[in-house]
Structure 1
Amino acid sequence: MGACWSSGTKAVSPSSAGFTSRSVSREGYDIHSSSRNSSASIPMTPRSEGEILQSSNLKSYSYNDLRIATKNFSPDNVLGEGGFGSVFKGWIDEHSLSVTKPGIGMVVAVKKLNQEGFQGHKEWLAEINYLGQLQHPNLVKLIGYCLEDQHRLLVYEYMPKGSVENHLFRRGSHFQQLSWTLRLKISLGAARGLAFLHNSETKVIYRDFKTSNILLDTNYNARLSDFGLARDGPTGDKSHVSTRVMGTHGYAAPEYLATGHLTAKSDVYSFGVVLLEMLSGRRAIDKNRPSGEQCLVEWAKPYLANKRRVFRVMDSRLEGQYSLNQAQRAATLAFQCLSVEPKYRPNMDEVVRILGQLRESNDQVKNGDHTKKHRLSGSASGHGHPNGLPSSASTGSSDAPKKFAYPRPSASFLYA
């Protein structure tokens, strides 16, 4: 069965998981067009704030610096808002990373924490702890931070296409519909990001994998963002990390919910939920749907396991873009990731391998015989698609809008 439970907030100390806060997912910025080399060798999580800040490879900004970069945090530069704070568009010099006047230099995203209390301080610190040391093409790049009096800010690369959540679930000209090819590309990129975190050197458990935390650059390359809930994985002969149960509604693995035992396989389950969202175009939890369809995992699992019924899961907007074999292989992978028993889930390296093969197969079909594609949606059942979405849904514009609707954070605890 799926993990469907009350919605929740997020937060974590780098060394403990008992601190909760609300946060806003944000996009990032495109700092360089060239790809970055991976960096996987990081020390044990520092215990003090001073050690974390000193060990990070980030630029320290003054509050006045970032005030200038954002035109005094002008409402015109707001990219998004949430309980954790607001995100503003800012500008810095591409080479020195020093702030510049608005409109000059490279665009960045500046997240400004709310000053009402210190709810977000530990999550702010966790972001610096991980993104200040980890670099990978599929992780969003953190450029710098500000810690001055009560002010706490973070400066990220700007991601022009926003979040996967926006493109999958929001309608309008600002959000381009994601094609089957783009969904495979994004899924593979996100999987590579998780695999990097799980590897033998880093051993980081992301703990909050979801579509709103997958951001897209100009070319729809996926970058994982929001590391406030990330934890160091188990070391030595330990099989898991024991934590307070935290995360986001609909994505957490059942064993984690039941025991608080966190492993890399917990992330694999969350990936399965996201892959299912990518296939179906449905949200993990949707209270607007009939009872029995509100929890995506519970509704879809019987179809994923049946090759003849897998078309019922597929997003009608993808009609004609994939072959029956591709749909079945992707559905099988999602089903495996969603196994109730963690030991039956693949690791992320295996997920990357399977998705890579699937994308390669899709590229061959695109460049070869298009007649092999099957129009599964609607025509297979003879009725309208169960998602209730017209096949002629507007694709929208590919141009990035001036303002993005940053995903709103949850407003209540996941688990008491």
Structure 2
Amino acid sequence: MEDVNEQRDDNQTSGSTPVTATLERPGPLFASKAASSGAPFIETPVAYDAILLASFGGPEGQDDVIPFLRNVTRGRGIPDERLEEVATHYRHFHGVSPINEQNRELKAALEAEVARRGLDLPIYWGNRNWDPFLEDAVREAHADGHRTLLAIATSAYSSYSSDRQYREDFARVLTDTGLGEGDDPVTIDKVRLFFDHPGFVEPFYEGVRDAVAAFLADGVEASAVRVLFSTHSIPTADAERSGPRDVEWGEGGAYAAQHRAVAAHIMERLAEELPETGGSSWSLVYQSRSGPASQPWLEPDINDEIAELPAQGVKAVAIVPLGFISDHMEVLWDLDNEAIQSATDAGLRAVRTQTPGVHPAFVAGLIDLVEERLNGTPAAERPALTELGPWYDISRPGDSENVRLGFKPAAAGILP
């Protein structure tokens, strides 16, 4: 059956013919005046008065699981019996997804960093699929007198569900609540995608460095170590639409290109700082696919890749959750459970490295992104660790189209 997960919740078309939406549509941008200009980078200061932390959400008890999964799959007509099959992952953890508690910790850490820098910016947290919902967060911000919000979404890369869908959520909320209309509307902009920001990459680098160094210290030769950078698989049709259409991204679109660029940076830095690790190899792999077998998704699957490693002389594997912000369900189940078991079955030593979570560099980096927009920092002065960055403040036309549904109204982006 089709799974559901904490990264992707819009299973696209299972057919082979994509829906091509027009690149013109009427409607408001729900954005600040600066972000409505259509410029790729906003290099003038914007007086934001609050931060909106936007995430996926997750159940916090056994009674929440099926209602949560109904929210995730709304509009797709999946019966509860099928949802219960997916619910086993959550039931294994007493019906509790760790993502909400992780977001509480991240919100508290961001608030502490904001206070340390003397910024007068309250932080509101809202989810797409479970309490606290985005609608409630935006209503609360409005009731407190805030009108110009800057959103941080808990996703770093280009794709429909990790980027554009959040902006569609903001437009939907501002429309449904009526708060995006009238003479004093609420606007919601979004910080740039941060896949190659130093604060996001540093925790992953530290994890790779420590894992590979530990293998070598235990007598494993560098040539027998493989680093597997794992991210969420998405339909190839979505991946091909995951970046601006005027760029040739290669296989997997901007989504795969961003992951490959960050992984290559980490391994190059590792070889420079620890030359003895230079023989270690790496691969980009995918996990948690949830579509029908007839629909092409990004490959290789991490478990399939692990099964082939012994024949390549690999003795130890470091599993790096490069596509994930925190240790939510897909990390705990798909990596800590299934992938580690695959490594055990293959006779490999294995370790799963850390996610950013509330790592100080990550927290500071997110507020750096906020200050970029507060100060109108020129793009040339913004930090980025790959040639792909810094990424755009304003998504370009056609970026991250939903193949099945086409373009819906979205906040803070150039049309569509």
Q: Tell me the TM-score normalised to structure 1 length.
A: 0.32
More helix by share: 2
With normalisation by structure 2, the TM-score equals: 0.32
Q: Tell me which of the two structures has the higher relative contact order, counting C-alpha pairs closer than 8 angstroms and 6 or more residues apart.
A: 2
